Amino acid sequence: MNSLNNTKPSLHTVLTPQLLDLYEIKDSIVVIIDVFRATSTIATALYNGASKVIPVDTAELCIEVGKQTGGVTVGERDGKIIPGLSYGNSPSEYPRSFIENKTLVITTTNGTKLLHMALKQGAKNIITGSFPNLSKVVEFLKSQNAPVILGCSGWKNKFNIEDVLFAGAVIEEVKAHFEILCDSSFMANQLYLQQKDHLTEYIKTVTHWNRLAAFGLEADMLYCISRDTAPSLPLFKEGALVNQA
Amino acid sequence: MNSLNNTKPSLHTVLTPQLLDLYEIKDSIVVIIDVFRATSTIATALYNGASKVIPVDTAELCIEVGKQTGGVTVGERDGKIIPGLSYGNSPSEYPRSFIENKTLVITTTNGTKLLHMALKQGAKNIITGSFPNLSKVVEFLKSQNAPVILGCSGWKNKFNIEDVLFAGAVIEEVKAHFEILCDSSFMANQLYLQQKDHLTEYIKTVTHWNRLAAFGLEADMLYCISRDTAPSLPLFKEGALVNQA
């Protein structure tokens, strides 16, 4: 966009991967959001010095790419490490002392799928977003002057509140810079404004909290709604997420 | 369900037709919601004595069924009556003096499509809901002891706030009677509670308001968010919606 053109770029929020095809993805920046817990873990591992994170669709591919790259294989189903992989999907498993200069190969149910869909539909740039790296995401979006898609990973294609809350937090910071004509974005922003001063209590009411709390993951989830604790910018380049912060 | 079984039936909110296949529709009561303006118009026409409302997918079919039944043909695109049809999609066009004992044949972009999807997926009962017939919908759902799907018609498969607001209003009235484990329903109910005391101001911020206000339809839309002004219960039976109130 040149300096004579004052039109602001658009911003849309996609509530679940099943709605992605309704939006203009080509030439947009897509922010993949999977608050519980994939994108929070990715932000944390990269902030703590991981050299890159390779997202893959299946456990089989995770094992294979792990072998090829010498990377750490990561994935859970129902709160347990997937047989054949080495680590789980908790940000707490990736302190600097462990992950620095290592490659992570991660498979997740929802976020990875959405990332590959966005890639296939010709996204200009793909980054991942979560409360631990919120400010870096905001900074990047404000600097690019390009259309933005906030892509919520949800749960098996259904709508998840925690992802939309994060979208609302991003919108609150960037809305002066974009043209927003999108009910999903209005709703996300309103929900965030309504709940932001008591997020810790509020988050305990959502379905995903209850699903993961049954596996003892409360501390993980509280970390995942903490702002700017892992200020990295995971940008997808040549098959992997690398820290551009 | 027999009297020894204390389990409450489930309630889910489907944010757009494109998500309907993720839910268990078979044997559920599906409430078709298209606040601006199809289901508000249907409630009004039936309350004012229309004998039935036949929803059809296309303008061509609308003309054909209109001829067969001697019905009034109804449909708009972009705020104008579709060529070949006789009336528009405004509730104000259907006072008792005009519509009593007549058949309405209506084609709409979003609501009709969702109704036919729900029918195909084996819904037990299909009713239509809108603010003008809110209490009748609530009364029916509380009386049935069956799983409920609140189906938002949205706009071309995208999420629309006004439909979800109505879902939230229904949930507020029936939530003690259902087991609700659904983030879409939580969000709908929260949004409604947040906005219910200033709906008139709030509704002017949503995308659909602005789309229809450009056609001079503000008064129509204010009617469409008025509660219990047309207390009918449109129930789908043998191809048509009839008033069961």
Q: Do A159 and B194 touch (CB under 8 A)?
A: no
Q: Do A191 and B186 touch (CB under 8 A)?
A: no
Of A159, A184, A194, the CB nearest to B190: A194
Of B182, B183, B207, the CB nearest to A183: B207
Q: Do A190 and B186 touch (CB under 8 A)?
A: no
Of A15, A157, A183, the CB nearest to B22: A157
Which is more confidently placed, A215 or B63?
B63
Distance in Å from the first CA to the final CA of chain A:
24
Q: Do B18 and A15 touch (CB under 8 A)?
A: no
Nearest to A73 by CA among A60, A61, A87, A91: A87
Buried b (16+ CB within 10 A) or exposed e, B55-84: bbeebeebbebbeebebbbbbbeeeebbee
Residue A242's pLDDT is 98
What tens digit of pLDDT does each residue of A171-205 get? 999 999 999 999 999 999 999 999 999 999 999 99
Residues of chain A above pLDDT 70, percent: 98
Q: Is the pLDDT of residue A111 over 60?
A: yes
Q: Is the pLDDT of residue B74 over 60?
A: yes
Nearest CA in chain B to A193: B194
A51: which 2 tokens?
Answer: 């050299």
Q: Catalogue all structural domains in chain A, each as residue range(s) with its CATH number.
A: 11-39+109-243 (3.90.1560.10)
Nearest to B140 by CA among B150, B107, B162, A42: B150
- When pLDDT is averaged across residues A103-121 and rounded to a whole number, the result is 94
Residue B244's pLDDT is 97
E-strand spans in chain A? 11-14, 29-33, 52-56, 72-74, 76-77, 80-81, 103-107, 125-129, 148-152, 234-237, 240-243
For residue A238, give every residue at least 6 positions away whose Cβ sits within 8 Å of its Cβ, in sequence order, or none.
none
Q: How many CB atoms lie within 10 A of CB A5?
A: 8
How much is the ipTM here?
A: 0.92
pTM of the prediction? 0.94
Confidence of residue A80 (pLDDT cuts 50, 70, 90): confident
Q: Is the pLDDT of residue A3 over 90?
A: no
